[in-house]
Amino acid sequence: MTIMESVRWAFRCGAWTPSRTEWLFAARCVQAEERERIGQFVFAKDAKSAMAGRLLMRKLISERVGIPWDQIHLERTAKGKPFLADPPCSSAGHRWSFNVSHQGGFAVLAAEQGRQVGVDVMKTTMPGSSTISEFFRIMRRQFTDHEWMTIRASGPEWTQLDMFHRHWALKESFIKAIGTGLGFDLQRVEFHILPAQMQEGQVYRGTRMHLDSEEEEDWVFEECLLDAQHHVAVAMGKPGSVAGDDDCPALAHTLPSKFTLLSFSDLVSGAVPLAEVDASYWESFRKKQEAPSRQSTPSR
């Protein structure tokens, strides 16, 4: 039975206060259109998260797929999901699927050989403009009766909010894995949580998904806590679910994959600049406010 690779990386973009040298070097190491898009973010927090996400993807492709950094070309699907243009097969003959997410204080990447993957990170925070009860009322239509029962029965209001964000991360990880974007009805997927509580430092695969009321045996969901407030969910499709890799053999029963926390030096190790230094890019970045004054409701 063939064992194929998995990658799980995390970067504390919220705690990253880039120096002028770091920010300008990072900007030189991503494609021009992405550099421009990152520069258009109003808040520094969002610009840092987006930059970290692009660097994570390029690091993966350079180190694991084997394409030199300055020859990597990333494009986006019609739904906005980044992908590697004209990907080769790996040395093992199986293509990589990868996905990034950034929210709260982290940017994360999950990658798999030969199967679809989606990842989502969610930080449990108080609603920015409403009570928890009102927040739940607004979000009610995104969850099934079973899921709301699980959320409501989990304990005090903060625990319910935490369980809400855990469910949200699971749903988004699946949507990102299949790449359908905003048009997917989230009530079609229902998660049966296991275990009810998670511990930091552990990775869990007990949660099951029902799609259109039928349990999906082929999908595996990994869950973990990066810290007490940050949930991560990784959705993995059945082996052979990556386009162009139809003859992928079954996966071995591998252990769940823990996230490795990267430093900025780790993030850019092996990076090759693609452009000249643009000092104005730093001047624009350092004028940005770090973040909006209040958190907003998760949106789709």
Q: What is the pLDDT of residues 241-293, one digit of tens each?
A: 565 554 444 444 467 899 999 999 999 999 999 999 999 999 999 999 999 87
Residue 193 lies in a domain: yes
CB neighbours of 287 closer than 8 A, spacing ≥ 6? none
Could you tell me which of 57, 54, 63 has the C-alpha nearest to residue 27? 54
Neighbours of 99 (CB within 10 A): 25
Q: How many CB atoms lie within 10 A of CB 271?
A: 18
Tell me, yes or no, whether 217 and 142 share the same domain.
yes
Number of domains forming the structure of the chain: 2
Q: Are 230 and 14 in contact (CB under 8 A)?
A: no
Residue-number span of the structural domain to which 200 is assigned: 116-238
What per-residue confidence (pLDDT) applies to 80? 74
107 falls within a domain: no
Any idea what the CATH number is for the domain that residue 281 is in? 3.90.470.20
Question: Within this chain, do residues 234 and 259 fall inside the same structural domain, yes or no?
Answer: no
Query: Is residue 285 classed as helix, strand or coil in its secondary structure?
Result: helix
| Residue 101 falls inside a structural domain | no
Residues 217 and 263 in one domain: no
Residues 121 and 170: their CA atoms lie apart, in Å, by 9
**Confidence (pLDDT) at 88:** 65
| Same-domain status, 224 and 283 | no
Which of 215, 238, 261 represents a domain boundary (last residue)? 238
pLDDT given for residue 274 in this prediction: 96
Which stretches of the chain score pLDDT less than 50?
A: 1, 91-92, 246-253
One domain, residues 126 and 233: yes
159 in the same domain as 77: no
Confidence (pLDDT) at 252:
42
Residue 17 shares a structural domain with residue 47: yes
| Confidence at residue 251, expressed as pLDDT on a 0 to 100 scale | 45
Residues 127 and 74 in one domain: no
Are both 120 and 234 inside the same structural domain?
yes
Per-residue confidence (pLDDT) for residue 130, from 0 to 100? 85
Question: Is residue 138 domain-resident?
Answer: yes
Q: Of 238, 264, 283, which residue constitutes the final position of a domain?
A: 238
The pTM (predicted TM-score) of the whole model is 0.91
Q: For residue 83, give every residue at least 6 positions away whose Cβ sits within 8 Å of its Cβ, in sequence order, or none.
A: 74, 75, 76, 77
Q: What is the dihedral sign for C-alpha 73, 77, 80, 82? A: negative
Same domain for 208 and 261, yes or no, is no
Whether residue 179 is contained in a domain is answered as yes
193 and 258 in a single domain? The answer is no
Check if the beta carbon of residue 116 is closer than 8 Å to that of residue 242: yes
Residue 50 domain-assigned (yes or no): yes
Query: Is residue 8 included in any domain, yes or no?
Result: yes
The pLDDT of residue 91: 47
Same domain, 127 and 227: yes
- The per-residue b/e assignment along 221-243, b for 16 or more CB within 10 angstroms, e otherwise, is bbbbbbeeebbbbbbbbbbbbbe
* Residue 198 within any structural domain of the chain: yes
Which of 192, 212, 238 represents a domain boundary (last residue)?
238
